[in-house]
Chains A and B, each alone.
Chain A
Amino acid sequence: MHENKWEMVIGLEVHVQLATQSKIFSGAPVKFGEPPNSQACAVDLGLPGVLPVLNEEAVKMAILFGLAIGAKINTHSIFDRKNYFYPDLPKGYQISQFEYPIVGTGSLTIDLENGDSKTIGITRAHLEEDAGKSIHDAYPGMTAIDLNRTGTPLLEIVSDPDLRSPEEASAYFRKLASLVSYLKICDGDMSQGSMRCDANVSIRESGSNKLGQRTEIKNVNSFRFIEKAISYEVNRQITIVESGHLIKQETLLYDSEIDETRPMRSKEYSNDYRYFPDPDLLPLKLSEELINSIKNKLPELPEFRQERFIQEYGLTIYDASWLVEDPELADFFEATTESSNNAKLTANWVMGELIAALNREELKVSESRISPEELAELILRITDGTLSSKLAKTAFEKMWEEEKPVDDIIEIYGLEQVSDDDEIKAIIKEVLESNPKQVEQFRQGKEKVLGFFVGKIMQATNGKANPQQVNTLLRILIK
């Protein structure tokens, strides 16, 4: 592929499930993993005569998001019906916003791998209802419909076609995920489909201003897959164009198992959605007062926090951006640092041992078996010399397993570093005496054997001797 000959033009539509208690237009619960059709009430089922009533919290969440991306909040927005037939769409239309969305133009800045950052335009964000689920492989010849998800509030965030590579697309998706968890408007559980992404992909000759025919990849729900799906699709398009054919406008599904996109059969007949204002819902008018009250609730956003971490704690850009992505992790770091008084060491422990332990057991930060205070205690024991960094790792593991404070663990397992000069001297003498040959070798100038002695001494102290102290004393005593 001629990397430089072609430029990719990518826009993403990200659907964020809003973390409300009840559905967007009904009082049914929003819960996942429940028996089929046990979470869908008459309104969700589209039974005759029922009416939608908009959830106030969903509106507030949309406003909060809009404010966070510096967007204009439209004080007058309209809910429309998007009409199409599908068995998991009970009413035969989806309530969405078409011409007048609640959130207008905004932007989001992403950090690229090379350290640059890039601002991606956001065209709009609007509220809509989620559809149910169709299960095609459970009953032979039949499709089974579960409408539990129907009516889950969605915020659809539409980017400008500003993304120029699969990596940028993935970084943007990741940044959005981070933002919505900062705002606490989404639970961020990607495996449950709480964030899903459609990608509009086209290619054009580098330097051209014309947009190529685009295809749409539907419903990708991981950062990694969006990158792979776009890569595959771009290559497919280049191959088609370079062989002198035209790209067909179509809707595609990405199959992660074989890493391929394929046309979506159910979308073959391009739909005429017949959008029009939903007569069951009057225009949504928002007061400046409401918008301002929500503005006051805006939390510190990731880019500001990152900057603060660099300034306040002296972290590197890399560490800071890594830590702020997940607000819970960043909170954990800050809480630990407050007691440990050592930001760099704390950052290392949080990004190292803590993350490794959480990942091992697939736990969220909030489910950590070690609290920030406990981790800070551990770090304090390193800085005051009680624990060697090696034994500190052992202590961390024991603390994790037994959920006990660090001092108890040191006590139980005798992990305290031996720093007593006389005690160490006595051991060194003993080791020197039982290895006269090596002592002789050192005296003849063979510096290397020092390592041999350090090893022996540490062995003799079960690794508890302070290594620096051992080195210093050894050099004195061996002469």
Chain B
Amino acid sequence: MDPFIEINAIRKGLADGEYSSAEITKFYLDRAKKLNSQLNSFISFCEEQAIEQAKNADNKIAEGSSGPITGIPLAHKDIFCTKGITTTCGSRMLENFVAPYDATVVERLNKAGAVTIGKANMDEFAMGSSNENSYFGNTSNPWDTDRVPGGSSGGSAAAVAAGMIPIATGTDTGGSIRQPAAFCGISGLKPTYGRVSRYGMIAFASSLDQAGVLGRSVADICLLLSQFGGPDVLDSTSHPIPDNWLSSNPKLNPTKPEAKITIGLPREYFDQTPNLKSVEIAMRVFENAGCILKEVSLPSTESAIPAYYIIAGAEASTNLSRYDGVRFGYRCQDPESLSDLYQRSRNEGFGKEVKRRILTGTYALSVGYYDAYYLKAQKIRRLIQQDFLEVFNKVDLILCPTSPGVAFKKGALSENPVEMYKQDIFTIPSSLAGLPAMSIPCGFQNNLPIGMQLIAPHFAERKLIEWGHYFQSLTDWHKKVPELS
């Protein structure tokens, strides 16, 4: 069986009785376990539960009561709480944490009949761009195992790219779906802030975090997102109005979605990119399809990184206060006093990057610095959002590189946090603005994948998906697969 098969093909195989869900589940489990020693994309597998879910799915299929993703195996980033299965968030702090509830995303996918085979590796608490911040060891890029898969959803990206699983969930705070998707040569969508419930998704920066999908194709992503997006009473920041198009599980046409859209090319993003060639070729594809390309300007782009690290750090610094060794999670040995319990549990339970972000955020919120840092960053966030809103008065979509470079070597940036932070320059601004954005493979450089990014106005996922799908019907970069020994 071809492990790189798309979901629609698996559905057909299941419907035609070519194989059962239990069989493909076993197939992916075996393959993923085997490749995991090389790639370390999974933190844990849940074989027993997966087989049970698969059998239930097979029953549904036999009864004829199956839905669009019944019996499809998938992986969850280990940031989503899964009832009865350890959820670590890539941290020693949660090494043994078993949530008594499912995240809304997990619950909805379970209900839709998906089969979870395991939990994907990630940067600790989703803080990182290389997956080198996982307590459970870093993940390798399937295209070159000396290189990083990107982060923080690096485990999900590497697993999909290596054919260990057809599709995986991820989360994106400042680029954590799009950048690893680009580094691993797959597609990744971060929906509009509020499109997907954050309930049960362990918080990093609450005003930025958004769940999404990493998959082999835009069509696959659309299918999965249609099953878990939409309002949720457990998340008061989830958007109360559902996307009727998306929830109708739309059939995607390979024909042009609509005539003559205008695509904006932000000057500030193209000024500093060595990868231009691939993105330029992608631009021509759109142009040949009748789209109008137009240079636009997002002048506040450069201040996005500092604003992001202040806002995300501030929110993270207090989101992570609950890890205190009292009710769950890591507790240090023989604490002498309450303060000893707090200080050692948190010092021993958190990794370096997490501590850096907590301290940065604590600093930005502390008395005397709030206005200069936190409030200033919020104002810059407004300017960045205004930039986008103005541009979207003139264009339908924005096209730009996903990342300034291809996957870098392990260790290349890990000693230099600021250089590492700068990797997110193209994904952070749209995160700050809360916009939906997607990374799609658009070429290679020295056998390493390159991603382009499409950004749409708030809640215009349909545009992203239809145009992304159309692009993939004209190109085959997303069909390239790495050679694995």
Please report A residues at the B interface, Cβ cutoff 8 Å.
42, 45-54, 81, 83, 85, 87, 90-93, 143, 145, 147, 272, 274, 276, 278-282
Picked from B205, B323, B338, B365, the residue with its CB within 8 Å of the CB of A274 is B365
Determine whether B245 belongs to the interface, using a CB cutoff of 8 Å to chain A.
no
Determine which of B200, B315, B326, B367 lies in contact with A279 in the assembled complex, contact meaning CB atoms within 8 Å. Answer: B315
Instruction: Name the one of B97, B237, B323, B374 contacting A280, with C-beta atoms under 8 angstroms.
Output: B237
Known: A272-B366, A274-B362, A276-B370. A49 touches B81 (CB 8 A): yes
Q: A47-B328, A274-B365, A279-B206 are in contact. Are A52 and B321 (CB under 8 A)?
A: no
Q: Which of B99, B233, B324, B328 has the most CB of A within 10 A?
A: B324
Q: How far is the CB of B343 from chain A (nearest CB, A)?
A: 10
Complex Cα distance, B236 from A282, in Å, reads: 8
Q: Are B324 and A92 in contact (CB under 8 A)?
A: yes
A147 to B324: give the CA distance in the assembly, Å.
15
Q: Is B94 an interface residue (CB 8 A)?
A: yes
In the assembled complex, B207 has its CB within 8 A of some CB on chain A: yes
B residues neighboring A (CB under 8 Å) = 80-81, 87, 89, 94, 97, 99-101, 103, 198-203, 205-207, 233-237, 314-315, 317-318, 321-324, 326-328, 338, 342, 362, 365-367, 370, 374
19 further contact pairs, Cβ within 8 A, besides A47-B322, A49-B202, A52-B236: A46-B327, A47-B327, A48-B89, A49-B87, A51-B234, A85-B321, A87-B338, A91-B321, A92-B321, A92-B322, A92-B324, A93-B318, A143-B338, A145-B326, A272-B366, A274-B318, A276-B318, A280-B203, A281-B237
Give the interface centre of A48, A276, A278 by most chain B CB atoms within 10 Å: A48
Interface secondary structure of B, over-half rule: loop
Question: Known contacts A93-B321, A279-B315; is A50 also within 8 Å of B200 by CB?
Answer: yes
Alpha-carbon separation in the docked complex, A237 to B87 (Å): 54
Q: Which residues of A contact B236 (CB under 8 A)?
A: 51-54, 280-282
Q: Chain B residues near A42 (CB, 8 Å)? A: 99-101
Q: Tell me the complex Cα distance, A280–B370, Å.
A: 19
CB neighbours of A51 from chain B (8 A)? 198-199, 234-237
Whole-angstrom distance from the CB of A278 to the nearest CB of chain B?
8
Q: Are B99 and A49 in contact (CB under 8 A)?
A: yes
Of all chain A residues, the one with the shortest Cβ separation from B205 is A279
Contact between chains at B202 and A276 (CB < 8 Å): no
CA gap between A90 and B342 in the complex, in Å: 13
CA distance A83 to B205 in the complex (A): 16
Distance from B462 Cβ to chain A, minimum over Cβ atoms (Å): 24
- The distance in angstroms between the C-alpha atoms of A466 and B235, with both chains bound, is 74
A284–B321 Cα distance when bound, in Å, is: 25
Chain B residues with CB under 8 Å of A52's CB are 236
Q: Which residues of A contact B317 (CB under 8 A)?
A: 274
A225 to chain B minimum Cβ distance, whole angstroms, is 28
Asked, given contacts A53-B233, A145-B326, whether A276 binds B314 with beta carbons under 8 Å apart, the answer is yes
Q: What 7 pairs across the A-B complex have the smallest Cβ distances?
A: A92-B321, A279-B206, A279-B207, A274-B365, A46-B322, A49-B200, A48-B202
A85-B234 CB under 8 A given contacts A45-B327, A92-B322: no
Q: How many A-B residue pairs lie within 8 Å, measured between CB atoms? A: 100
Assess the A48–B365 pair: CB atoms within 8 A.
Answer: no
When distances are taken between beta carbons in the complex, the residues of chain B under 8 Å from A282 are 236-237
B173 shortest CB reach to chain A, Å? 12
User: By the criterion CB–CB under 8 Å, are B321 and A48 in contact?
Assistant: no
Chain A residue at minimal CB-CB distance from B235? A51
State how many angstroms separate the Cβ of B236 from the closest Cβ of chain A: 5
Q: Quote the shortest CB–CB distance from A22 to chain B (angstroms).
A: 13
A117 to chain B, nearest CB (A): 41
Q: How far is the CB of B368 from chain A (nearest CB, A)?
A: 9
Partner of B103, one of A49, A83, A93, A279: A49
Q: Which residue of B lies closest to A88 (CB)?
A: B326
Closest A residue to B321 by CB, please name it. A92
Contact of A276 among B233, B322, B342, B365 (CB under 8 A): B365
**A50 to B326 alpha-carbon distance, docked (Å):** 17
**B209 shortest CB reach to chain A, Å:** 9
In Å, the complex CA distance between A276 and B366 comes to 10
Complex CA distance for A83 and B314, rounded to whole angstroms: 11
Alpha-carbon distance A50/B201, docked complex (angstroms)? 8
A83 to B367, CA, bound (A): 12
A48 to B94, CA, bound (A): 9
List, sorted by A's number, 30 A–B pairs whose CB atoms are closer than 8 Å.
A42-B100, A45-B327, A46-B322, A47-B100, A48-B89, A48-B202, A48-B323, A49-B80, A49-B99, A49-B199, A49-B202, A52-B236, A53-B233, A53-B234, A53-B236, A81-B318, A85-B324, A91-B321, A91-B322, A92-B318, A92-B321, A145-B326, A274-B317, A274-B362, A274-B367, A276-B318, A276-B374, A279-B207, A279-B315, A280-B237
Smallest CB gap from A271: residue in B: B367
- A256 to B315, alpha carbons, bound, how many Å? 41
- Assuming the A-B contacts A281-B236, A282-B236, are A47 and B321 also in contact, with contact meaning beta carbons closer than 8 angstroms in the complex? no
- A282 nearest CB neighbor, chain B only: B237
A278 to B203, CA, bound (A): 13
Docked-complex contact A48 and B205, CB < 8 angstroms: no
Q: Whole-angstrom distance between the alpha carbons of A409 and B198 in the complex? A: 67
Residues of chain B within 8 A (CB-CB) of A54 are: 236
Instruction: List chain B residues, Cβ under 8 A from A278.
Output: 206
Question: Chain A residues with Cβ under 8 A from B362's Cβ?
Answer: 274
Alpha-carbon gap, A438 to B338, bound state (A):
86
* Chain A residues positioned under 8 Å from B328 (CB to CB): 47-48
Determine the chain A residues whose CB is within 8 A of the CB of B89 once the complex forms: 48
